[in-house]
Amino acid sequence: MGQVGMDGIRRNTSIHLDAMTQKLVLLLETLSKVQETALKFRNPSFAHYFSKKAEDQIASIQSEGQKLTESEISKQLEENIELHKILQRQTMIHNSFYSAESMVDK
């Protein structure tokens, strides 16, 4: 049910862990969305950069997820939700004007 702390007070740690686990899952889902959105850039350099960045962060979380505090998870979640929104806007704008042809006169 719960654990008794050194102060003798019983705490329900399972609810706390469930909330952290839920945030961790949400963070990983958000990073997957960031990666999917990044791959929509027509410019392969942009697509690779943001996709790789998300992929590296997913790998880091999967290897060190148990060491992260709830505040660290919340901060990363907030940052990646914002990044996802930015990438959605930027892919639309970027792809509207992107051309694979060189615009520099030779």
Q: Which of 96, 103, 95 is nearest to 46 (CA)?
A: 95
| Confidence band of 9 (pLDDT split at 50, 70, 90) | low
**Domain residues of the chain, as ranges?**
27-97
Buried b (16+ CB within 10 A) or exposed e, 31-68: bebbbebbebbeeeebbeebbeebeebbeebeeeeeeb
Number of helical H runs and strand E runs in the chain: 3, 2
What's the CA gap between 23 and 26, in Å, rounded?
Answer: 5
pLDDT digits (tens, 9 = 90+) for 15-67: 556 788 899 999 999 999 999 999 999 999 999 999 999 999 999 998 986 78
72-105 pLDDT, tens digit each: 999 999 999 999 999 999 999 988 887 777 656 6
